[in-house]
Homo-oligomer: A and B are copies of this chain.
Amino acid sequence: MEVTRQNFKDSLTTVYSAIEEADFLAIDGEFSGISDGPNVSALTNGLDTPEERYMKLKKHSMDFLLFQFGLCTFTYDEAASEYVIKTFNFYIFPKPFNRTSPDIKFICQSSSIDFLASQGFDFNKVFRHGIPYLNQEEEVQLREQYEERRNQSNGSGTTSYISPNANKGLGGVPEEHRDYIKRVMFPKGLHVETLETDKKERYIQISKVDDEERKRRERQKQEREQGKLVVGHNMLLDVMHTIHQFYCVLVCSILTDLLLCRLLDTKLMATTQPFKELINNTSLAELQKQLKESPFKPPKVVTAGGFPSYDTAQEQLHEAGYDAYITGLCFISMANYLGTFLTPPKGHIPARSKLIEPFFNKLFLMRIIDIPYLNISGPDLQPKRDHVLYVTFPKEWKTSDLYQLFSAFGNIQVSWIDDTSAFVCLSQTDQVQIAMNTSRYAESYRIQTYAEYLQGRRHVRENQAQGSQAWGEDGWVKPHYAPVPGTAAGDYRSSSGKRSISPIQEEQAQTTPTDGWSGNTHTHTHPDQGSKKIKTDGMHTLEDGMFEVLLVTV
């Protein structure tokens, strides 16, 4: 079902009840671009921490427009043993409400636009009929402005000259009450509503909602929603855009507080055991194809009456609603596959099964060598990076210069940070001290251990925190975890394996990006000199509620 400016109001009930009845939801977004940074490698360094990656995306991806939002609701029909789906395609465009409301500027990236155009994406529908939106704060501002103007046109105010700063909130409030209002006002804690008496006299009701009350209401709502499961494929950007565009400005470790649902990323699922070994291409289209074949089973799905149905044989990839639909199918196939490990095996694994809980709130991270996901509801993985060096050098240096510098150490891997710095991964940790020693008297370049590098960053961060303006800008305000002083991180990473990931392998990491990382349980480490993948011996039994995610290094 297409939802545009024209049928938005009429569709809302349908949308609400579809969500209400659903067992889980699948979402997907189409954006006007991905990165306004100089290039993708600047955005995705293979040794980013989850926090760094998140901050980069926040900085370089949020000025694009999420202009198509796909929602597919899946409701399980026990009697028929099949899912009933309802698909919605929301076209989104920030049409200005009037001359004084926000005139949003958004960036378009030619390659993204060109790609969507080649897929037949209908830009005219977006720009002509897209649903306008405001985030919470803009909505409050607009309501206040509107009130102010109504008051003025009713003769209750005659402010003739308005400075650029005038529209800051308390416009409609009489002068003598403003101080009081300012004192009781909280950011987002003030609820303003215009009501009418029976005699049609208008009045403004301002209710102060304190922090406790607000949290209580949010908890209530959260419980009411029972953390409905929302499934996406490679969904970090989708989630960030959705919050940023429709809810509020992204802050640092935002996600935990804001989410009223549980997220599941099918790309993360497909790159984790037991799926990792069975699936060799986790792009959405390929994943869906593979999940139709043995040992997986295509799920039984019917389209709800009155909704247009998709034919998966006739692909409509990169229409957000279709992609959401396919994502949901992938989730069902993988969830049901987990059921085959139970004794006795189960054919249908519901969205609330504990079997899939290990995948909750872990969002896939592209192209990070040793950290597969950003953990929304817990501390992030902190792989040991004591074989990693941070090297700074003149901007004339090329990768070959680094290879030459470290030629004594066998295979190395270089991850460029910028023109004058890079991470260099040595194949063995005990080489680190030798490299540090030989570099002591070097003048043209400088080597730090990864731990020293982290400490340097932390120092910069703390200085920024003490300063005032720099704080909010690049945002290291609330790290997910408190790093242990003097050490790089915890001890999640087994360092017994030789590491040798060539640049080519790093490219491959685009499709199989979790090669080379290790988790915190049952870690099997395989020495590997080449760039080919090595099969793991991970045989394991799963029981409902006792599922263990096996994280295997190649």
Q: Mark A146-183, 1 if CB is under 8 A from B, else 0.
A: 00000000000001111111100000000000000000
Confirm or deny: A510 has a beta carbon within 8 angstroms of a beta carbon on chain B: no
Say whether B127 contacts A164, CB under 8 Å: no
Q: Which of B109, B124, B163 is A123 in contact with, Cβ under 8 Å?
A: B124
Say whether A419 contacts B164, CB under 8 Å: yes
Say whether B110 contacts A161, CB under 8 Å: no
Known interface pairs A105-B33, A108-B108, A399-B163; A96-B124 also in contact (CB < 8 Å): no
Q: Which of B116, B160, B395 is A400 in contact with, Cβ under 8 Å?
A: B160
Residues of B within 8 A of A246 (CB): none
Q: Mark A39-71, 1 if CB is under 8 A from B, else 0.
A: 101000000000000000000000001000000
Within 8 A of B (CB), among A85-105: 93-96, 103-105
Q: How far is the CA of A262 from the CA of B116 in the complex (A)?
A: 40
Say whether B105 contacts A109, CB under 8 Å: yes
Measured CB to CB, the nearest residue on chain B to A403 is B161
Q: Which of B39, B122, B161 is A398 in contact with, Cβ under 8 Å?
A: B161
Confirm or deny: A117 has a beta carbon within 8 angstroms of a beta carbon on chain B: yes
Nearest chain B CB to A159's CB is how many angstroms away?
8
Q: How far is the CA of A412 from the CA of B399 in the complex (A)?
A: 64
Q: How far is the CA of A84 from the CA of B467 in the complex (A)?
A: 67
Known interface pairs A105-B36, A161-B399, A396-B165; A124-B114 also in contact (CB < 8 Å): no
Known interface pairs A36-B105, A105-B36; A165-B395 also in contact (CB < 8 Å): yes
Q: Mark A269-312, 1 if CB is under 8 A from B, else 0.
A: 00000000000000000000000000000000000000000000
Known interface pairs A41-B164, A503-B161; A95-B123 also in contact (CB < 8 Å): no
Confirm or deny: A111 has a beta carbon within 8 angstroms of a beta carbon on chain B: yes
Known interface pairs A105-B36, A165-B395, A397-B163; A110-B123 also in contact (CB < 8 Å): no
Say whether B110 contacts A104, CB under 8 Å: yes
Confirm or deny: A248 has a beta carbon within 8 angstroms of a beta carbon on chain B: no
Q: How far is the CA of A164 from the CA of B399 in the complex (A)?
A: 9
Say whether A124 contacts B128, CB under 8 Å: no
Confirm or deny: A113 has a beta carbon within 8 angstroms of a beta carbon on chain B: yes
Say whether A110 contacts B117, CB under 8 Å: no
Confirm or deny: A186 has a beta carbon within 8 angstroms of a beta carbon on chain B: no
Interface residues on A, range: 35 or more
Q: How far is the CA of A45 from the CA of B258 in the complex (A)?
A: 42
Confirm or deny: A106 has a beta carbon within 8 angstroms of a beta carbon on chain B: yes
Residues of B within 8 A of A400 (CB): 159-161, 163
Q: Mark A418-455, 1 if CB is under 8 A from B, else 0.
A: 11000000000000000000000000000000000000
Q: How far is the CA of A418 from the CA of B164 in the complex (A)?
A: 8
Measured CB to CB, the nearest residue on chain B to A120 is B128
Q: Mark A396-413, 1 if CB is under 8 A from B, else 0.
A: 111111010000000000
Q: How far is the CA of A111 from the CA of B105 in the complex (A)?
A: 9
Confirm or deny: A107 has a beta carbon within 8 angstroms of a beta carbon on chain B: yes
Q: How far is the CA of A553 from the CA of B161 in the complex (A)?
A: 26
Confirm or deny: A517 has a beta carbon within 8 angstroms of a beta carbon on chain B: no
Q: How far is the CA of A482 from the CA of B427 in the complex (A)?
A: 64
Say whether A107 contacts B109, CB under 8 Å: no
Q: How far is the CA of A399 from the CA of B165 in the complex (A)?
A: 10
Residues of B within 8 A of A395 (CB): 165
Known interface pairs A163-B399, A416-B163; A96-B110 also in contact (CB < 8 Å): yes
Q: How far is the CA of A401 from the CA of B65 in the complex (A)?
A: 40
Nearest chain B CB to A319's CB is how many angstroms away?
15
Q: How far is the CA of A261 from the CA of B381 in the complex (A)?
A: 63
Q: How far is the CA of A62 from the CA of B34 in the complex (A)?
A: 21
Q: Which of B95, B159, B398 is A163 in contact with, Cβ under 8 Å?
A: B398
Measured CB to CB, the nearest residue on chain B to A159 is B400
Q: Mark A14-41, 1 if CB is under 8 A from B, else 0.
A: 0000000000000000001100100101
Q: How far is the CA of A96 from the CA of B400 in the complex (A)?
A: 29
Say whether A165 contacts B419, CB under 8 Å: yes
Q: How far is the CA of A400 from the CA of B161 in the complex (A)?
A: 6
Q: Mark A117-133, 1 if CB is under 8 A from B, else 0.
A: 11000111011100000
Say whether B110 contacts A94, CB under 8 Å: yes
Measured CB to CB, the nearest residue on chain B to A36 is B105
Nearest chain B CB to A391's CB is how many angstroms away?
13
Measured CB to CB, the nearest residue on chain B to A163 is B398
Residues of B within 8 A of A164 (CB): 39, 41, 416, 418-419
Say whether B114 contacts A96, CB under 8 Å: yes
Q: How far is the CA of A32 from the CA of B96 in the complex (A)?
A: 15
Known: A36-B105, A117-B127, A122-B124. 5 other contacts (CB 8 A): A96-B114, A161-B399, A163-B397, A163-B400, A166-B398
Closest 10 CB pairs of A and B: A161-B399, A163-B398, A123-B123, A117-B127, A117-B128, A104-B110, A94-B110, A103-B111, A161-B400, A95-B114
Please, could you name 21 A-B residue pairs with CB atoms under 8 Å apart, sorted by A?
Answer: A41-B164, A65-B108, A93-B110, A93-B113, A95-B110, A103-B109, A104-B110, A105-B107, A105-B110, A108-B108, A113-B127, A116-B127, A123-B123, A123-B124, A123-B127, A161-B403, A162-B399, A163-B398, A165-B396, A165-B398, A165-B419
